[in-house]
C-alpha cells in the first residue's frame, strides 16, 4: 500500500505496520490509522504520519528526554485497550510543535500518546495530573530547570 504525503512524498507501507488508534487524537477524530516514521538518525524523534490524510503528521518524542522524571499513569483499562499485559510493553510519546521561532518549540506533557509496538495499537490520554503542562517549552529557562530537576509545572502562558 502507499500514501502520498506532503513531507515525505510517496510512502509505501505494509498494512501490518499501521498504528491503529483505539481512541482518536484530540481534534482529529476522523483519523485513526498512522505510520511511525523516523525523524532523524538518532531515533529521538519520530513522525506519526496519517495513512488517511497525507497532509497530517505529528512529530513525537519520548517525554523523558526533556523531563526525566515524567510518568504517565496507565490504567488497567488502558492496558486492555492496547492489548498489553504491563506498562513495560507500552511506549509513552508526546507531540512536539516546531514553529518558525525555534525558541517556542514545545511538547504537550498533559496529553501523551500510549503505543504498544507489539500490537500496533495506540491511544491518547489526557492526564488528570495538572502539574504537567500542555505547553512545555524546550528553550525556556524554566523548562531547562524543570528538566534538570525532573519536576515540570503548569504554565500560565496560553500561547499556541
Condensed to tens digits (0 to 9), the pLDDT of residues 120-147 reads: 999 999 998 788 999 999 876 555 455 4
Helix/strand/coil (H/E/C) assignment for every residue in 53-111: CCCCEEEEECHHHCCCCCCCCCCHHHHHHHCCCCHHHCEEEEEEECCCCHHHCEECCCC
CATH number at residue 36: 2.30.290.10
Q: Check pLDDT > 70 for residue 92.
A: yes
Residue 21 maps to a domain: yes
Condensed to tens digits (0 to 9), the pLDDT of residues 109-120 reads: 999 999 999 999
Q: Show the domain range for 120.
A: 2-149
Give 156's pLDDT tier (boundaries 50, 70, 90): very low
**What's the total number of domains in the chain?**
1
Give 149's pLDDT tier (boundaries 50, 70, 90): low
Residue 158 maps to a domain: no
Amino acid at each position: 500500500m502507499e500514501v502520498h504525503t506532503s513531507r515525505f512524498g510517496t510512502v509505501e507501507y505494509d498494512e501490518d505496520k499501521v498504528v491503529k488508534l483505539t481512541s482518536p487524537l484530540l481534534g482529529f477524530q476522523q483519523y485513526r490509522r498512522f505510520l511511525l516514521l523516523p525523524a532523524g538518525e538518532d531515533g529521538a524523534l519520530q513522525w506519526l504520519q496519517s495513512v488517511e490524510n497525507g497532509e497530517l503528521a505529528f512529530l513525537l518524542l519520548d517525554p523523558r528526554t526533556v523531563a526525566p522524571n515524567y510518568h504517565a499513569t496507565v490504567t488497567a483499562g488502558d492496558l486492555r485497550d492496547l492489548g498489553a499485559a504491563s506498562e513495560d510493553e507500552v511506549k509513552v510519546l508526546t507531540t512536539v510543535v516546531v514553529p518558525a521561532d525555534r525558541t517556542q518549540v514545545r511538547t504537550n506533557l498533559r496529553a501523551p500518546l500510549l503505543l504498544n509496538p507489539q500490537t500496533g495499537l495506540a491511544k491518547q490520554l489526557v492526564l488528570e495530573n495538572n502539574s504537567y503542562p500542555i505547553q512545555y517549552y524546550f528553550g525556556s529557562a524554566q523548562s531547562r530547570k524543570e528538566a534538570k530537576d525532573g519536576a515540570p509545572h503548569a504554565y500560565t502562558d496560553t500561547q499556541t
